[in-house]
Amino acid sequence: FNNDHPADYHRPSLSVSDIVALKQNGVVSCHYVDSFGFQEIPAFLKPENYLKNTEMAVEDDYDMIDGIIDNGKNPTVA
């Protein structure tokens, strides 16, 4: 299976479920390999909020994942 490569070919063959990243004119696009061809995945390399995991670990108000650690006493209602 896929063993008849040119002599100078040193890459593994593509298989279903592989992800291929292409850089064309400075723009990177990612594509999923399925049994029919390639399907672009626009958000595959989307930047992630790097503070999210930290905030989820220490924030006392879980519905406020906003990039700000704002633990503290909530004001009391008199």
Measured at the alpha carbon of residue 39, what is the angle toward residues 36 and 45, in degrees to the nearest 5? 150
More confident residue, 77 or 47: 47
Query: What is the pLDDT, as a whole number, of residue 65?
Result: 62
Element (H, E) at 58: helix 52-58
| Mean pLDDT to the nearest integer, 34-44 | 92
Count CB-CB contacts under 10 A for residue 43.
6
Query: What is the pLDDT, as a whole number, of residue 49?
Result: 72
What is the pTM (predicted TM-score) of this model?
0.51
Q: Which is it for the CA torsion 23, 27, 32, 38, positive or negative? A: negative
The structural domains of the chain, with segments of one domain joined by +, span 18-57
Distance from first CA to last CA of the chain, Å, rounded? Answer: 75
Residues present in the chain in total: 78
